[in-house]
Structure formats: structure tokens, C-alpha cells
Amino acid sequence: MTGLEHSLVELIRRTSAEIPDDVQAAILASLEREKKGTIAESAMKIIEQNIQLAKQKSQPICQDTGSIIFYVDCPVGFDQITFEEAAKNAVRISTKKGFLRQNSVDSLSGVNDGTNVGPGSPTIHFHQHRQPETEVRLVLKGGGCENVGAQYSLPAEKLKANRDLDGCRKAILDAVLQAQGKGCGPGILGVCIGGDRATGYEFSKQQFLRRLDDRNPNAELDRLEQDILNTANELGIGPMGFGGKTTLLGVKIGAANRLPASFFVSISYMCWAYRRQGVRLSAAGDIEEWLY
Amino acid sequence: MIHLKTPCDEAQIRSLKVGDAVEITGVLFTGRDAVHKYLHEGGELPPGVNLRNGILYHCGPVVIKDEQGRWKVTAAGPTTSIREEPYQGQLIKEFGLRGVIGKGGMGDRTLAACREFGCVYLHAIGGAAQVLAECIKSVRNVYLLEKFGAPEAIWEFEVERFPSVVTMDANGNSLHKEVFEASQKALAQRL
Ligand code: SF4
């Protein structure tokens, strides 16, 4: 194993077994908020215990270890091909060690070759920056919650949603309503207003790189984020859709330019098993710092 | 907390209400997509699998063999149940199931079968793979392993205090329906 592969295996292990601090804090806060003695409270308690147990045993938090999505910020002149090879190897090794489930299926033949490496798996997004360091972030995105993601094309007559922020609000809240009971809530929404069908979903997932306790620098989007979070938590959907106070743990919204002819609102739903970590790497590929 | 022991007692099952938290002790059989389709198409239950008054768990566990060659469950969370909606009612009727465990709830046909034949839908905590694996005390047997592969095989687990919530009862009530209707109304007032 090269130094880089070693670091990436450790990144995968930690992402799969340990919930980042900001998510942990949000889960504990919601456990406090739920009424004592309700099934919502006991669901949150089990979730909390599960997080502790996974960390202790260094085992996957959830058996669905999800789509493997890397985001790499790298300096000019960075060797992307070597990185991609190292990432694939790290995924193979992590799968053998049980940090990842054998989770990737050939869509035509239905065959699961047990490596988690194939077309589109893992997915790697590279982004150059004019700084010397390399930062690698990883999101493991579960399938149950991916299935309840939704893309709305405005205007949406049925929802009375026009091409404005209020229309976006209606679309996003409709997605919350429809997702209930599925996707293992309480959830986190990543939303992109605008873009095309592909970039809309892509940008919506990038929102999951933000910390849950950050605030949106754009005042309008910040208001919308807070409003959606509060409104969703007033609907009484609750953990697992059992009823209760915590329907969402967070809402993160970004905007991308659109064509005059289209207006998409793309919503990715993340389950409570919100697995996201990141590392800053030295030139030799060693881990210098954890990012979350 | 209500304790449920297998084999289940019909009267106790019929007395459960949506929202009841229950802990199950006894035997669970797993079954997911391949098993449902196989039984629906007239496949025979392997000898040793007795579902009468039993509980079926929608789960594709991660099971490994330890150094002594014993099966060990390392992850065992529920999978989404609604995919089995076309088959579930028939299985409840034919095999005398008293409980089905999964996540996300099921539809009207299953709800009707629960009422007619005395069965409940029990919701486990989605994603809680580690906590639920801890409740599995031993693997008693596995059936149809070669035919369907590990996640889809029928596993016979001995469980202790396996936590779940009744979300569809034998009296025609569904918590999923109730919460959906109430939340839809609440949302309408906030648009
Ligand atoms: S939605 Fe998330 S928590 Fe639920 S089973 Fe999938 S990965 Fe696990």
C-alpha cells in the first residue's frame, strides 16, 4: 500500500464508522427535544446507541455503506490519474476489511463482483485551487435516502409553485412530506436552486460538505434554510416517520445559474447516518489534519 | 414496553395497537425480495422453516464465519418493506405469520391481511445495524443460501429484546397513514 492509499483507507474507515461531531451534536439535541417516553424519543436513543457502538467496534454505522463520493481540492499540476488509482485501490482494500459492504452492482448483468469498483464507483470530483495543499473529502451516501431525492421543474401547477423563492419553498417542503417514513429520518436536505438536471443534483450533494452548524452567507438563502428547517419540524413527521418533533436535522441550500427556459429545484436527502469526513494531506500523501 | 415472545399468541397480537413499542425475544426468520418472489410463485418452504405464529424480518444481514466456523452477524438493519407489498398478504395467509418486521411501512393489501388473519407490521429503526446485530444472540440455521446468496437467504436468528414499533395493527390502523394525513394538513396551513 502506498502512503496515499493508506491515508485513503483510514479516511474511508473513519467515515464509515464515525459520525462527524456536528452531526452527533444535532442528533443529541434532537434526542433532548423529543418528548420523554415517546416512540420518537426511543428511536433517537437507539440511533444514538448505534453511533456509539459503531465507533467502539470500528464497524459501519449502517450496513448500507452507500455511494462513495470523493471531493478533491488539489494544487495546480496535481496528478489526478495516480490519485484515482490510489482511491480505487483504497476502496478495494476497505471493502475486503469490511469498512464498506460489497455494495456495487453491474446495472446490466446484475452481477456484484464484490470490489465496489466499476463504472461510476467510486465517484471522484477534482477541483484545482491556487494553494499548495491537497484536501480530500468523502461522503458515503445511502441508497434508501437517495431514493427519496426529488427534482422539481417550476412552475409546478399541482403545488401552486411559481418561479420564485416561495415556489422553491413549496417544492422543498413537498419533498419533505413525500419522503416521510422512507430514507431513515431525521434527515438533512441538500438543495440546489437552478442549474440543469445534472448539475442541479450535483450541486445539491455538494451542500453535504457544509457543517450542519454553519450559516449560509447569502441572507436570502439563509432565511430560506431556517424557514424550511423550522417548518418541517412543525409537521409532526418525526424520526422514522413515527410522529415527533425532529423531521430534519439541517437544510443547506445553494443556487446555480439557470437557462431562461428552465427552473429546477433539486433536492438530495441524507439519512441520519450522515457519513462525511475529510483530510488535509501532505505532499507525500500522509494525513496532516482531519477536516470535520 | 411490551414483550413479545415467539411463537406468538394470536390474542396478544390482536391486542397490539399502532404506536406500541415492543421487544421481541425468540426466533426470527429473514426474508426479502428473492424469498417473497419464490414463495409467491409456489416455491416450497425448506424443511425446518416454520413460519406459523412466527415473525418474518425484511433484512439482508451481513454475516461472517468466525475462526471456529460459526456464523456471526455483523450488521442486521431492516430493508424497505414496500417492495414486498405484492406478496406479503398471501404469505401472511398461507404461512400463518403473526408479525412482519421491516422499515417504511406497507400498503393496504398487507393491512387488510393483518386484520383478517391476525398479524402486525413492526417497524425497526432503519440504519441501526449495530444495535440490532447486538440483539441477535445466535444464528440457528440458514436456508436457501446457495440458491439466493447471503443477503437474500432465509436466516434463522435467535433474538433477545429486539426493539421495534407497531406501525400497522390487526385492527386496520396504520401509523404511516395517520402521520401522513396529519402532516399534510399541517403543511397546508403553512404554505
Ligand atoms: S437510508 Fe441511510 S440509514 Fe437508512 S438504510 Fe440507507 S444508508 Fe442506512
pLDDT value for B10 = 97
The residue-averaged pLDDT of B88-108 equals 97
Q: What percent of chain A has pLDDT over 90?
A: 96
Going by pLDDT thresholds of 50, 70 and 90, the confidence category of residue B66 is confident
pLDDT digits (tens, 9 = 90+) for B68-91: 999 989 889 999 999 999 999 999
Q: How many angstroms separate the alpha carbon of residue A146 from the centre of ligand 1?
A: 9
C-alpha distances out from residue A67 to A13, A101, A139, B128, Å: 14, 11, 8, 18
Task: Closest CB to B179: pick one of A50, A60, A241.
Answer: A241
As for ligand 1, residues whose beta carbon falls within 6 Å of it are A 62, 64, 66, 142-145, 183-184, 271, 273; B 77, 126-127
Going by pLDDT thresholds of 50, 70 and 90, the confidence category of residue A235 is very high
pTM score of the predicted model: 0.95
For residue B124, the Cα-to-chain-centroid distance in whole angstroms is 8
B41 phi-psi bin (left φ>0, alpha ψ -120 to 50, beta other): alpha
pLDDT digits (tens, 9 = 90+) for A16-30: 999 999 999 999 999
Q: Is the pLDDT reported for residue A78 higher than 90?
A: yes
Measured between beta carbons, which residues in chain A are less than 8 angstroms from residue B127?
47, 50, 61-62, 64, 142, 184, 271-273
Task: Closest CB to B125: pick one of A59, A180, A240.
Answer: A240
When comparing pLDDT for A152 and B66, which is higher?
A: A152
All structural domains of chain B: 2-190 (3.20.130.10)
CA A196 to chain B, closest CA, distance in angstroms equals 26
**Which residue, judged by its Cα, is nearest atom 3 of ligand 1?**
B127
CA B1 to chain A, closest CA, distance in angstroms equals 10
Q: Is the pLDDT reported for residue B34 higher than 90?
A: yes
Tallying the residues shown for chain A, one arrives at 292
Cell numbers 421481541: residue: B24
Going by pLDDT thresholds of 50, 70 and 90, the confidence category of residue A132 is very high
Q: How many angstroms separate the alpha carbon of residue A84 from the centre of ligand 1?
A: 27
pLDDT digits (tens, 9 = 90+) for A175-185: 999 999 999 99
Going by pLDDT thresholds of 50, 70 and 90, the confidence category of residue A110 is confident
Ligand 1 atom, smallest distance to B127 CA: 3
pLDDT value for B68 = 92
Q: Is the pLDDT reported for residue A168 higher than 90?
A: yes
pLDDT value for A111 = 86
B36 is catalytic: yes
Q: Is the pLDDT reported for residue A37 higher than 90?
A: yes
User: Which strands sit side by side in the sheet containing A67-75, from one edge to the other?
Assistant: A123-129, A67-75, A134-141, A275-281, A287-290
The residue-averaged pLDDT of B20-32 equals 97
Ligand 1 atom, smallest distance to A145 CA: 1
Complex prediction ipTM: 0.94
pLDDT value for A66 = 95
Q: Is the pLDDT reported for residue A230 higher than 90?
A: yes
Measured between beta carbons, which residues in chain B are less than 8 angstroms from residue A98?
62, 64, 74
Going by pLDDT thresholds of 50, 70 and 90, the confidence category of residue A3 is very high
Those residues of chain B whose CB sits closer than 8 Å to some CB in chain A are: 19, 21, 60-62, 64, 74-77, 80, 103-105, 123, 125-131, 134, 163, 165, 167, 175-176, 178-180, 182-184, 186-187, 190-191
The catalytically annotated residue of B3, B36, B40, B176 is B36
Residue A221 CB contacts under 8 Å (≥ 6 apart), including other chains? A253, A254, A255
Measured between beta carbons, which residues in chain B are less than 8 angstroms from residue A249?
none
pLDDT value for B74 = 86
Cell numbers 476502496: residue: A91
pLDDT value for A147 = 94
Q: Is the pLDDT reported for residue A255 higher than 90?
A: yes
Average pLDDT, chain B: 96
The residue-averaged pLDDT of A265-283 equals 97
Average pLDDT, chain A: 97
The residue-averaged pLDDT of A48-75 equals 96
Those residues of chain A whose CB sits closer than 8 Å to some CB in chain B are: 39, 42-43, 46-47, 49-50, 53-54, 57, 59-64, 98, 101, 142, 144, 147, 160, 170, 173, 177, 180-182, 184, 231, 234-238, 240-243, 271-273
Half-sphere exposure of B29 (CA within 13 A, CB side): 25
pLDDT value for A49 = 97
Q: Is the pLDDT reported for residue A247 higher than 90?
A: yes
pLDDT value for B43 = 95
Is the dihedral angle over the CA atoms B86, B91, B94, B97 positive or is it negative?
negative
Going by pLDDT thresholds of 50, 70 and 90, the confidence category of residue B151 is confident
* Pairwise CB contact (< 8 Å): B165 & A43: yes
Measured between beta carbons, which residues in chain A are less than 8 angstroms from residue B126?
144, 184, 240, 271
* Pairwise CB contact (< 8 Å): B176 & A181: yes
State the best of B85, B131, B132 to mutate against chain A, taking most chain A CBs within 10 Å. B131
pLDDT value for A112 = 86
The residue-averaged pLDDT of A243-252 equals 98
3-state secondary structure of A205: helix
Residue type for A282, please? Answer: S
The residue-averaged pLDDT of A211-239 equals 98
Which regions of chain B does DSSP assign to beta strands (E)?
2-5, 21-30, 55-57, 62-65, 71-75, 99-102, 120-123, 136-143, 154-168
Q: What percent of chain A has pLDDT over 70?
A: 100
Q: How many angstroms separate the alpha carbon of residue A271 from the centre of ligand 1?
A: 6
CB of A126 within 8 A of CB of B111?
A: no
The residue-averaged pLDDT of B2-6 equals 98
